[in-house]
Amino acid sequence: MSKNTITTGQYVTLEYTLASVGNRVLALLIDNVTLYGYFSFLFFLFSALPSSIFYADLGFYLFLLLSLPMFLYFPLMEALNHGQTFGKMAMKIRVISQNGSSPTLSAFILRYILQVVDYPLGLLPLLLTRNHQRFGDLAAGTIVVSTKMPYVFLPKYDFAAQDYVPNYPEVQMLNTKQMDVISRTYYSHAPNRQEMIDLLAEKVCSTLGIRPKLPGNEIFLQQLLNDSYYYISSVEA
């Protein structure tokens, strides 16, 4: 099966298994059968209602209201269910962003709207793009992967193998998202980078109850990153 590798802000590499074209087609088929079943239920329900309701226009508005789940099924189901519709759940695949995070609601809506471009082309985009992406995926920055846990390649750093002594063991109290913020801020090229570093350093010191051992908040954040990499490498070893 095709693979897709993603490197996070902490330089940890995740390798996902891309969903096969066959699984994506079957997932779509299951979803369409689900929507057809829902439409059939609505048709049966409204066939049993008295005609007087429709003369009062109540039936039309009621039908319109109950039909909304059909039109919003794909973006809302995926947004509320970790990138999965019923079909994707059955085929054990899901939609994620190309950076490995969960897509935003706007991304789900965009890939859904662009189905009008994808459907006439059939399987062509899935077969020709490297990550089996249709135009909706390319525009929204998403890929469809297997729900199987990604393989994680933890980074190896020379300083971790050269009798490196951590400066701040408290860094182990920070979770992955917090370390990701530190990494992205440190390696940022934003015009206000130094201001962000100063504010973040102050926040980290307050959270961990520590003080920088050397002057300079930039050096402090670099030491935190090095210590974090050291402990990650130690766990891997």
Q: How far apart are CA 208 and CA 110, in angstroms?
A: 41
Tell me, yes or no, whether 13 and 117 share the same domain.
yes
| Residue 152 forms part of a structural domain | no
Tell me, yes or no, whether 99 and 211 share the same domain.
no
Tell me, yes or no, whether 181 and 118 share the same domain.
no
| Residue 153 forms part of a structural domain | no
Tell me, yes or no, whether 76 and 117 share the same domain.
yes
User: Which of these three, 146, 172, 197, is where a domain ends?
Assistant: 146
Q: What is the pLDDT of residue 64?
A: 72
Of 77, 76, 138, nearest in space to 111 by CA: 138
Q: What is the pLDDT of residue 14?
A: 67
Tell me, yes or no, whether 108 and 219 share the same domain.
no
Q: How far apart are CA 138 and CA 126, in angstroms?
A: 11
| Residue 37 forms part of a structural domain | yes
Tell me, yes or no, whether 58 and 119 share the same domain.
yes
Q: What is the pLDDT of residue 142?
A: 92
| Residue 32 forms part of a structural domain | yes
- Identity of residue 189: H
Q: What is the pLDDT of residue 124?
A: 85
Tell me, yes or no, whether 26 and 136 share the same domain.
yes
| Residue 66 forms part of a structural domain | yes
Tell me, yes or no, whether 26 and 119 share the same domain.
yes
Kind plus residue range of the DSSP H or E element containing 6 = strand 3-7
| Residue 47 forms part of a structural domain | yes
Structural tokens at position 220 = 């402090």
Tell me, yes or no, whether 101 and 179 share the same domain.
no
Structural tokens at position 231 = 């402990």
Residue with tokens 């789900």: 108
User: Which of these three, 146, 175, 197, is where a domain ends?
Assistant: 146
Tell me, yes or no, whether 136 and 172 share the same domain.
no
**Structural domain of residue 204, as residue ranges?**
158-236
Tell me, yes or no, whether 125 and 182 share the same domain.
no
Of 234, 112, 214, 113, nearest in space to 165 by CA: 234
Tell me, yes or no, whether 172 and 74 share the same domain.
no
Q: What is the pLDDT of residue 236?
A: 52
User: Which of these three, 90, 115, 146, is where a domain ends?
Assistant: 146
In terms of Cβ atoms closer than 10 Å to its own Cβ (0-12, 13-18, 19+), residue 198 is middle
Q: What is the pLDDT of residue 137?
A: 92
Please check whether residue 181 is in contact with residue 200, taking contact to mean a CB–CB distance below 8 angstroms.
yes
Q: Can you list the residues of the chain whose pLDDT is less than 50?
A: 10, 154
| Residue 34 forms part of a structural domain | yes
Q: In the chain, how many domains are there? A: 2
In terms of Cβ atoms closer than 10 Å to its own Cβ (0-12, 13-18, 19+), residue 173 is exposed
| Residue 151 forms part of a structural domain | no
Q: How far apart are CA 88 and CA 227, in angstroms?
A: 40
Sheet containing 13-17: give its strands across. 3-7, 13-17, 151-153
Q: How far apart are CA 197 and CA 66, in angstroms?
A: 51
Question: In this structure, what DSSP letter does residue 171 have?
Answer: G
Question: In this structure, what DSSP letter does residue 18 have?
Answer: B
